[in-house]
Structures are given as structure tokens and as C-alpha cells.
Amino acid sequence: MTAPLSKSIVIWVMVGLVLLTLSAPTVVVLGASFTSGNIIVFPPNGFSLQWYGKIASDVGLRGAFMRSLTVAAICTVIAIPVGTLAGIALAKYAIKFERSLQVYLLLPFTIPLIGSGIGLMLLFGQMGILGQIWPIGIACCVINLPFMIWAVTASAANLDPDLELAAANCGAPPIATFFHVTLPAVMPGVISGSLLMFILALNEFLVSLLLTDARTVTLPVQIYNSIRSIITPDLAAISVVFIACAAIIIALLDRLVGLDIFLKSK
């Protein structure tokens, strides 16, 4: 009789440890951002919002943040149609190049980002488009697209094929069937995929490092540049802004499609 009890204690301790480990960086950085001292420490030295004031008034940071948002927006806008169509096609049809496509979906985990980054840098350099913002958005889209495709495929795999036949039976030609029936059915996947693309592009660092220069620097690169000089509590404050962005997006996701659907995606 005591076995299940001790088992559940062990499980709860494990869960607690995992939660602690996962949240530790967030808690530490959150605390450190409110310090009133000049050094980044945890627990913080007193409480103040001075570092938030500092980053808000820093023109360079604000510009970098706006550029990051632009990059994320461009990336998402491209990923939505491309990823949605590819995801649906992959789930529904026996495609000729299915194998190659599946290998492509594994790419983000197999090819080091630095490799993709150098490739894109050479490509964009030859095309003479380095130094602009939009190529960075395209780059983020290219390297992260598999996540979008995955999200859509997971939704489309649950799609009842009879739904599309039913639409045809109702008199809907194929294009109307796509917009009225197929697309709404995979919408949870499209929404979660595009929000994921947005976060990934907002946070993207390594590839952007290779593709940006002083005029197009994005926020993560900007942070990296300032770390190289000196680590001050304003970095903690910026990190908190990032975390807040992610939290907003997760809240959006919960409102729009419900997190349970997102968590169920395979």
C-alpha cells in the first residue's frame, strides 16, 4: 500500500526539480533586472525600474527592437502561405518528393545554423541584397520553416478526408473547398505555427549575426555586441522584454486556438 505513495512522492519531487530548473534562468534574470545597483546580480540589490528606463531611452536598442519586429513580421508573412500549403500537401497527398521533403524537415536539427548562415550570407552577397532588412526575414523563414510545416501537418493529419468530399457534394469547386473547409480545419496548426515562426525570428541570433551590419543590426545581435564590452543590468531588462514578448504570444495562442490543441500537435 505504501508503494504508490512513495512513487507519487518521487514523481512530484522530480516534477518540482524540473520546474525549478526550467524556470531558474527566467526568475534570476527577472530579479536581476530590478536591481538598483550598477552590477548584474541575483538576488537584486534593492528595487528600481531604472534599467527599464535606460533601455527605453536607448535609441540604438529601440531601433534594433523595431528591426527585429520587422524581421519577425516578414518571416511570418512568408511562412504562412508557404508553410500552410506545404504542410497540407505533405499530410494529404502521396507526394513524389515526400522523402526529400521529410529530410528537409529534419534540417534544422542536422545542419549547424552557422552553416546555413554562411550559405545565405554568400548567396545574399552575390545578389547584392546584404545590408537590407527583408533578406534577414527571408533567412529566418528559410531556416525555421520546418516548424511551420510540422504544425500544419499535425493539424491536417487529423482532417477527415470526407469533409472535403462533403464540400464538393455541397457544390463547392476545389478552390472554394480549400478556403471554406480545408483551411479552417488546419487553422489551429497555422496559428500556432506562425506564432512559433514569429518568436523564433524575433529571437534569431546566429544567422542574423552574419547577415547584419551596423545599420541593420537586430536586437539579439545588438545585445551580443554590448555583452562584448560590459555586462550591465540593462541586459537583464532587455531579456525580460523578450520573455514578455514570448509570454504575450503564448497568451495569444491560448486565446486563439487553446493551448491544449497546441500541446497535442505531434
Tell me which residues touch other proteins (CB under 8 A).
160, 162-163, 165-173, 176-177, 180-181, 184-185, 187
3-state secondary structure of 158: coil
- Give the residue among 45, 179, 201, 52 at the shortest CA–CA distance from 134: 201
Of 57 and 169, the one with the shorter C-beta distance to other proteins is: 169
Cβ closer to other proteins: 121 or 168? Answer: 168
51-78 in b/e form (b: 16+ CB < 10 A) is bbeebeebeebebbbebbbbbbebbbeb
CB atoms within 10 A of CB 24: 11
DSSP per position, 190-227: HHHHHHHHHHHHHH--HHHHHH--TTT--HHHHHHHHH
We find the least distance from the C-beta atom of residue 33 to other proteins, in angstroms, to be: 42
- In the bound state with other proteins, the residue whose beta carbon lies nearer, of 46 and 161, is 161
Residue placing its CB nearer to other proteins in the complex, 165 or 227: 165
Select 64 or 181, whichever has its Cβ closest to other proteins: 181
Taking the least distance from each CB to other proteins, the nearer of 160 and 260 is: 160
70 vs 76: CA distance, rounded Å? 10
Tell me the Cα Rg of the chain. 22
CA end-to-end span of the chain: 37
Q: Which is nearer to other proteins, 172 or 249 (CB)?
A: 172
Calpha distance 263→27 (Å, rounded)? 24
Please give the Cα distance from 79 to 147 (Å, whole number). 10
Task: Give me the amino acid identity at 45.
Answer: N
Q: What is the DSSP letter of 97?
A: T
Nine-digit cell string for 37: 545597483
Instruction: Please report how close the Cβ of residue 186 comes to other proteins at its closest, in angstroms.
Output: 11
**Shortest reach from residue 85's CB to other proteins, in Å:** 19
**Smallest distance, other proteins to C-beta of residue 184, A:** 4
Least distance to other proteins, CB of residue 80, Å: 18
Q: How far is the CB of 61 from other proteins (least distance, A)?
A: 42
Least distance in Å: CB of 119 to other proteins?
41
